[in-house]
Chains A and B, each alone.
Chain A
């Protein structure tokens, strides 16, 4: 996805995408990140224990851990709420 996203929105995208194991390349493609920025974000998520890195044959894969579920759930609830709380736009 393109566009100006906040740090937390990018974290949420990476974490929700990596619910099933994903390669680094697929993460940068799906989340529209350059490799340097993606490395930084993934580094943060690994350090928090929200992402797990493991080898599968020759592939290095990332998977969201159980620990990230609090963040993912809170993010979903807050965004649903802030979207629905405000005035609705219609012509």
Chain B
């Protein structure tokens, strides 16, 4: 039973780890896209000393996306750091699980979830916001292609690639929260069950 539990703990931890890494990569990409959007739209306006409504809107969107991406990255890094401590604990476990060490890991995971619940909520928000930002950028990119056709086949290919990147990252951004929700659902259930366990433990402690 302990070995099965330990294996399950390992699998769950690796899944969460992968999810956080996806978020860190997504946040990094969102930051760089935000900067690129600002640079590509702000500098031409500065050079021409004229405000173009579409470019101004894109600059604003880029800044907003950059802000969300920073917050998304910080939240992901916070969770990653706490998760790393638990991962070290699991790595120290030999193949055959020791029941006390396995219980310790469950307690550690529960404490991790209680601690990081607000940050995970922020991650879901950050992920959705970045997803929205990228999908909007993709839509604007399509609009630009239709209204102002890129020069030559190279320009067209680059524009299509840019739109595709936006759509893929945007979709991942929208999909990630559902994975976090799945993780939260599993741990919420365990926390709920732990309340019942606490009542029993209290009875034992009181000598009942």
Given contacts A3-B108, A16-B104, A89-B182, is CB(A75)–CB(B201) below 8 Å? yes
Tell me, in angstroms, the Cα distance from A78 to B202 when the chains sit together: 13
B204 touching A79 by the CB < 8 A rule? no
A83 touching B11 by the CB < 8 A rule? no
**Contact of B111 (CB < 8 Å), options: A1, A71, A79, A87:** A1
Q: Does A4 contact B (CB under 8 A)?
A: yes
B114 touching A3 by the CB < 8 A rule? yes
**Contact of A79 (CB < 8 Å), options: B16, B187, B197:** B197
- The range of chain A's interface size is 20 to 34
**Contact of A87 (CB < 8 Å), options: B19, B102, B186, B194:** B186
* CB-CB contacts below 8 Å: A36-91 with B: 48, 70-71, 74-76, 78-80, 82-91
- The range of chain B's interface size is 35 or more
A90 touching B112 by the CB < 8 A rule? no
A82 touching B102 by the CB < 8 A rule? no
For A9, the chain B residues whose CB sits under 8 A away are 107, 110-111
Q: Does B189 contact A (CB under 8 A)?
A: yes
Q: Does A6 contact B (CB under 8 A)?
A: yes
Tell me, in angstroms, the Cα distance from A9 to B104 when the chains sit together: 9
Q: Does A24 contact B (CB under 8 A)?
A: no
Given contacts A9-B111, A85-B193, 15 further A-B contacts (CB under 8 A): A2-B85, A3-B108, A5-B107, A8-B202, A71-B201, A75-B197, A78-B200, A79-B107, A79-B194, A83-B8, A83-B106, A84-B4, A88-B8, A88-B12, A88-B186
Which residues of A are interface residues toward B (Cβ below 8 A)? 1-6, 8-9, 11-13, 16, 48, 70-71, 74-76, 78-80, 82-91
Which residues of B are interface residues toward A (Cβ below 8 A)? 1-2, 4-5, 8-9, 11-12, 15-16, 18-19, 82, 85, 99-100, 102-104, 106-108, 110-112, 114-115, 179, 182-183, 185-187, 189-190, 193-194, 197-198, 200-202, 204-205, 207
| Interface pairs (26), CB distance under 8 Å | A2-B115, A3-B111, A6-B198, A8-B201, A9-B110, A11-B205, A16-B104, A48-B205, A71-B205, A76-B99, A79-B103, A79-B107, A80-B2, A80-B99, A82-B193, A83-B8, A83-B9, A84-B5, A85-B193, A86-B193, A87-B185, A88-B12, A89-B183, A89-B187, A90-B11, A91-B15
